[in-house]
Amino acid sequence: MDTGRWFVGVDWATEAHQVCVLSATGDVVGERRIPHSGIGLHALVTWLRALTDDQLAAVSVAIEVPRGGVVETLLGHGLHVAHCNPKQLDRFRDRITVAGAKDDRRDAWVLASALRTDPHCFHVVSAEDPQIIQLREVARAEADLREEANRLTNRVREQLLRYYPALLTLCPAMDAPWVWALWELAPTPAAAGTLRLSRVATLLKTHRIRRVDAPAVLAALRVPPLTVAPGTAEAAQTHLQLLIARLRLVAVQRDACARACAALLEALDTPPSPPPATNAAPARPSDVRILRSLPGVGRIVAATLLSDAAVALQDRNYAALRAFSGVAPITKQSGKRRVVSMRYACSARLRMALYHWARVSTQCDAVAKAYYARLRARGQTHGRALRSVADRWLRILMAMLTTGALYDPAHPRAGTPALTPPQHP
């Protein structure tokens, strides 16, 4: 990182930020508390401009968060911004005091001092592509909605187990819209006894359900019901009406997020039209197209990698990508004791994306399947073997991004990789 002559530490908060400015020799030039508002951030830039004689390009700022209003304001005015993990800040603080003292002024000074003496421990922040920002937000919103749907279906199952377990035999997860509609037709076992075959057949036809027919549905619903206390069925029915209405809303929002995510990926895959030329070279495939050409990479995995690991992908930084995603193990060695274990300090979203990428690739790619089988035969656990498969895919991805080539199963390096996993120190 190109550090300047002034070093600024910003202890980020929700209402006000503590700021400390150090000179190149480590002397405190100024301290100030800045409110989190447009006026406050404008005042911060004006103050830094006055302290540095209008040389904002020579100012480096350390902060704990990689994005947000403070970071984007500083980047917009040409300052160098770098961030570090809050746990790493805690380690920097221990260098100053071992008593455990902590306050906002001390943290701001520690950030500025660490940036001055150890700039290599920070990650440089740069302005992001607007489409990447949108993609990250849509992908995370879809993940939140998916978790919300799981919570709601679990609550629906809990209510049905109280008085109507027969409905669960048709769809144990209760995550299908046709089962919600069926419950509305027959919300109680008594209502199922009077349900007509034609109405069930129409419902199945409307939702395009073929794995079960109307007589089988009625047979499943008309089994002898549970004996429950008076009022139990009515109470559960009232609760289920609220839950299913929320499930329908979540389903609509998930579909909207999925369409928006697909549209953003398509936009990222469509480069701007080059100027007309008679002997122009063929266009290089975009990162999105290269990534999605790999076996096991679908919409969700591609969106997660492109949004949460954008910097590592742009820099073609294989080491950073495998560390951020938790693929790279960690080694603890002291004397004769040496332990290589799983990395937990990583992005949970990236870890999950690579887990599913590796899992699906072992089902649809013969080489990945053989690689996984070889690792399992050596005694590795399922998770450890999948991490090795994911590590192999990351190496291939970095090579493809560097050369601008799409995945080719017939390529010698892609089709016949060494089945010996890399040896980690």
Distance CA 122, CA 88 (A): 10
Position 414 pLDDT exceeds 60: no
- For the whole model, what pTM was predicted? 0.83
The SS3 assignment for 333 reads strand
The SS3 assignment for 282 reads coil
Position 263 pLDDT exceeds 50: yes
The per-residue pLDDT for range 385-401, each reduced to its tens digit, is 999 999 999 999 999 99
Taking Cα atoms as reference points, which of 73, 68, 75, 106 lies closest to residue 89? 106
Position 8 pLDDT exceeds 50: yes
Kindly state which CATH superfamily the domain 6-125 is placed in: ATPase, nucleotide binding domain (3.30.420.40)
- 69-86 burial code (b ≥16 CB/10 A, e <16): ebbebbbebebbbbbbee
Domain boundaries, the chain: 6-125, 135-252, 287-415
Mean pLDDT score, 23-52? 92
Distance CA 7, CA 31 (A): 12
The per-residue pLDDT for range 290-328, each reduced to its tens digit, is 999 999 999 999 999 999 999 899 999 999 999 999 999
